[in-house]
Structure 1
Amino acid sequence: MKKLKSDLIKLIWSLGLRGVADKLHFRYLNKKFEEENAAFVKKYPEFQLPPPELIFDANHNVNWETYRSSGMTDAQKIADLIERYVDGPDAAVFEWGCGPARIIRHLGAKLTRFQKVELTGSDYNAASIQWCNAKLPGIHFLENRLSPPIALNDQQFNFIYAISIFTHLSEKSIHEWLAEMHRLLKDQGYFAFTTHGEKFTFCLSPEQMESFRQGNLVTRDGDIEGKKLFGSFHPKQWVESVVHQIGYKVIHFSPEGFHRQDLWIVQKTDAQVAVE
């Protein structure tokens, strides 16, 4: 079954049909979950729901219950990391690539150890940020571009997280954004992010797999950079080298540690930031 899925993905990509398949999948999911979503609205009438196209753009799903429950679960995972690593009474937290706030909308209620919590979220999708600002008070939301800088202050946060964001960026952009997160972090602050590791290499061509095995970043550009159809695949040794170059030290690495993606936690050091 895994090989069949891999072969199908490769065929769709080779024929240039990924965008068409994506639109058909969106229509299929809307129909599939129509009754479940109607029941969800009755059960949680006060729960603010983003337009389905925003959820699909960010998470490739339109199931309201999945959006809510997975967001709560992932918020707890992020909260556990923040409470483990951040010292002091206050937490200034930034989610880079928040989409329609699946995670960050639940995060404040789960950060119980801190006297003061400030939450900020940004995203490349302007429509998502417009929705977040209109529907979710108490969190600061702003739009970011494909390339930095972002309109935030130096050393503003002691914890930043990005879930499945580097997975859709080029090598140049990854270098630039690692440097930008370094700028935004307070001294000794932490950055948690995910990458496509070994678990996702099944959909690479033999040539791409060979490059990955040699320790090179591999990109598969089936869409414009920054969108979910643009894929990047990150060997462990490549990530280690890049974060060290930018000015971080690796605190924790879990292969397949977050929704099958590799989870990294790095800490800002006093090293000079270097971006080629």
Structure 2
Amino acid sequence: MTLYARLVPAAVRLRLRPHLQRALEVSGLIGVLHRRQERRLPQAPAPPFDDGLPMPPAELLVLVGASSDGRWFSEGGREHAAMFSSLAGKHGVDVGKAADVWDLGCGCGRIARWLAPEAIAGGGAFTGSDINRRLVDWTSAHLPGRYLLNGLKTPTSLAPKSKDLVYAYSVLTHLREKAVRAWLEEVHRVLRPGGLALLTFHDECYAGAWGPPGVVGRLEREPFIVLNDAMEGSNYLSSWTTAVHLEALAAPLFEVLEIVPGRRDNPTQAIAVLRARAE
């Protein structure tokens, strides 16, 4: 037991915890602690796993999913790739038939390892982008397609009206509302008129099954919530919004084709299926 724990009663420590966390966030020290934890996680042993494709090193797996488990990375990525491919096909974009695809927030290729070969084999093109240079460098060296570094702020270097499909898994979920609006504008800029965007977010269904205590109640009063409000764009910050509010954010630029609710049987986020309006 630490000296702090000996001197300060547990009930008092519980009340102080949010204030201490906020002080660390405001000071910037939370970033140091968060990165230290990321360096420790890969040291935990994970069973070996081989899916026949290049597997990122443990420290990169942790950066995208807080776990060094290769099986989780591979099988979860394959499931989400199939989900995106199916949704895109349902709404008129066949990934395997000359589609130009952008994976926004590609990480080290958790989904791209499955979708990039499908797009390229069908005569299309595949581009991934991410905010982390280490992830982009690894993916560029090991997976088909081209991979670019993007910043936290828009725009990207992608040409306007150049993509048929944009998907982003757990990207909006690490942004404040102002940044979400900016990235919706950037996705619209890059999509061809009528192109599709498949963007995941933490909705009230996901919050009810997988969210921290109190989030569902807050969403009944606040349409957009930010938890751990520091290090925007990293896994530390998480944002939560209602399906109705996400639809309102997207509606000026997109036709909202459907909102697929977050799943309760496994931690799969809600998906906004959007068609780009012509300007």
Normalising by structure 2, report the TM-score.
0.79
Check whether the contact 2:133–2:149 (CA below 8 A) recurs between aligned residues. yes
Q: After superposition, where does 1:108-123 map in structure 2 within 5 Å? A: 108-110=116-118, 115-123=122-130
Kindly report which structure 2 residues correspond to 1:93-104, keeping only aligned pairs within 5 A, or say none: 93-104=101-112
**How far apart in 2 are the matches of 1:249 and 1:148?**
22
| 2:272 maps to which of 264, 268, 271 | 264
After superposition, the C-alpha distances for 1:76-110 in whole angstroms (9 at most, x for unaligned) are 22222233223574211111000000111111444
Aligned mates of 2:178, 2:88 — CA distance in 1? 28
The letter of the residue matching 1:263 is: I
Q: Matched residues in 2 for 1:175 and 1:115: separation?
A: 32
User: Equivalent residue for 1:214?
Assistant: 221
Match of 1:230 among 219, 226, 237: 237
Structure 1 21/155 Cα, relative in aligned 2: closer, same or farther at 3 Å? Answer: closer
Q: Within 5 Å, give how 1:1-276 maps onto structure 2.
A: 15-16=20-21, 20=33, 23-24=36-37, 27=40, 30-33=43-46, 36-37=47-48, 40=49, 47-87=53-93, 89-110=97-118, 115-136=122-143, 138-198=144-204, 199-200=206-207, 202-203=211-212, 205=214, 209-210=217-218, 212-245=219-252, 247-257=253-263, 259-270=267-278, 272=279
Give 1:74 shift: 1.7
Deviation at 1:225, TM superposition (A): 0.3
Runs of 4+ aligned structure 1 residues displaced above 6 Å come to 9-12
Cα 1:117–1:175 shift into 2, 3 Å: same
Gaps of 5+ in 2: 1-13, 25-29
Mean alpha-carbon deviation: is it higher for 88-97 or for 143-152?
88-97
Distance 2:217 2:183 in 1: 25
Q: Which amino acid aligns with 1:94?
A: W
CA contact (8 A) 1:248 1:269 kept: yes
User: Following TM superposition, by how much is the alpha carbon of 1:252 offset from its aligned partner in structure 2, in angstroms?
Assistant: 1.3
Q: 1:103 to 1:242 in 2, by over 3 A?
A: same
How many residues align? The count is 251
**CA shift at 1:159, angstroms?**
0.7
How far does residue 13 in structure 1 lie from its aligned partner after superposition? 5.5
Q: Cα distance 1:122–1:178, how it changes in 2: closer, same or farther (>3 A)?
A: same
Q: Is the 8 A contact 1:157 1:186 kept in 2?
A: yes
Normalised by the length of structure 1, the TM-score is: 0.80
- Is the Cα contact below 8 Å between 2:150 and 2:156 reproduced in 1? yes
- Conservation of the 8 A alpha-carbon contact between 2:41 and 2:68: no
Could you list the runs of 5+ residues in structure 1 that have no partner in the other structure? Answer: 1-8
**1:56 Cα deviation after fit:** 0.9
Counterpart contact for 1:125–1:143, Cα < 8 Å: yes
